Amino acid sequence: MTWTEAEEYCESLGGHLVTITSKEEDEFILNTIADNETSLYFWIGGSDSREEGKWEWVTGEEWDYNHWKSGQPNDYKGWCKEGQDYAVIVDKDGRWEDCPDDGYDSDGPKNAYFDPADYGFICEWDYVTTDGKNAYDRIQGEAYDDGYGIQIAGISNGDATSSDGGVIGWISKGSYAIYKDVNFSGGSAKQMIICASNPTTDTIRNVSVYIDGDNETGSLIATVPIQPTKIWNNYVINTQAVGNITGVHDVFLLFDGGVNLDYFYFSKEKAAIATLVGDANCDGKTSVADAVAILQSIGNRDKYALSEQGMINADVDGNAGVTGMDALVLQQVDSGMIKLEELPLNSIG
């Protein structure tokens, strides 16, 4: 993944590439990645792309700390004709080098050291204080102001999707959490994102979202389906469109069954829509291979997870969420029992 792609991905989740502005932060990051066995290098949020030699953090914070490797940054143009404008952690000591956006230059040697497949990245989120919550930043589940039938729980074996060591759990049907004074200023919210786990194999759980009241007195703005994750500590992103929310509101989350909630936030971007109905593997066509992709994802979500767009495309049976029924519908399309033009089978309200 390139530096630009990594920064865009972090921003899509409400954050940014990590900024390291002190020795303490540097040591924290180093300890965080110490046991990593997947990525060799990690993009961080530093760049001098706007002005050569003037390094800046993506957040605009002061550049008064660095951990450059000896001889770095050098803007080496030996095989990088565009120079090296992006900061990356390159070794177990946490030292930095400057590299081109894609890890190597397209006209230069594509050796393993500069293979972008080896580049990981580290996202960071800036949290608001407890006297106010920004709708467009992550709001931690455990930051609720009032609730019923919930407890703060720790994550003993959470995956990389989970942002920290705390969630709300012990949730059952009728449990709720209230987050007061959530500020939607600076734009209008069009989409809600919830990071949660649902330990069932094929049962969709739903979180009903109200503002300025409960399920009897408030306004329902969304019902977010929480996809099955089979185990408690596997956290996935779930999204649902909302209708142009502005101003400051109390947010009331009502649960219809057992989930763990890590965090939620809102986005000013419209929720994605199906680009090609049934195209679960996003290969530009609908075929029985998409049914296989769905079943593989259900069987081993860690190994065969569908992309966010793939999840949207795959939901064809008229019921919110992707299950084995969607795979069955696509098999029926392949056999001619159902016409592709009939998908999705029913409108989802």
State pLDDT tens for residues 235-285: 888 888 887 788 889 999 999 999 999 999 998 876 555 557 888 887 778
Distances (CA, A) of 47 to 12, 86, 171: 19, 5, 43
Please say whether the beta carbons of 218 and 211 come within 8 A.
yes
Structure tokens that stand for 256 in this block: 């219809």
209 — pLDDT class (breaks 50, 70, 90): very high
6-15, 33-42, 215-224, 334-343: range with lowest mean pLDDT? 33-42
Query: Which range (1-5, 37-41, 142-146, 202-206) has the least confidence?
Result: 37-41
Going from the N-terminus, what domains does the chain have, and what CATH number goes with each? Answer: 3-124 (3.10.100.10), 133-267 (2.60.120.260), 288-342 (no CATH)
Q: How many C-beta atoms surround the C-beta of residue 163 within 10 A?
A: 21
What is the average per-residue pLDDT within 13-22? 86
Q: Tens digit of pLDDT for each residue in 67-119?
A: 999 888 887 655 555 678 889 988 777 899 888 877 654 444 444 445 556 67
Whole-number Å distance between alpha carbons of 321 and 341 = 20
Instruction: Please state, rounded to an integer, the average pLDDT across all residues of the chain.
Output: 81
DSSP strands (E only) in the chain: 16-17, 41-47, 56-57, 86-89, 96-99, 119-121, 123-124, 133-134, 139-140, 146-148, 151-154, 166-169, 176-183, 189-197, 205-211, 219-226, 236-245, 248-255, 260-267
**For 158-194, how does the pLDDT look when each residue is reduced to its tens digit (9 = 90+)?**
333 444 557 898 999 999 999 999 998 766 788 888 9
3-state secondary structure of 47: strand
- Please tell me the distance from the alpha carbon of residue 230 to that of residue 298, in angstroms, as a whole number: 9
Region 187-202 average pLDDT: 84
Residue closest to 124 by CA, chosen among 96, 164, 91: 164
Which residue, among 146, 127, 123, has the nearest Cα to 136 in the 3D structure? Answer: 127
User: Between residues 20 and 310, which one has the greater pLDDT?
Assistant: 20
Nearest to 173 by CA among 254, 78, 247: 254
Which has the higher per-residue pLDDT, 1 or 50? 50
Which of 134, 139, 47 has the alpha carbon at shortest distance from 97?
A: 47
CA-based Rg of the chain, rounded to a whole angstrom?
A: 22
| Rounded Cα distance, 142 and 153, in Å | 8
pTM for this prediction: 0.45
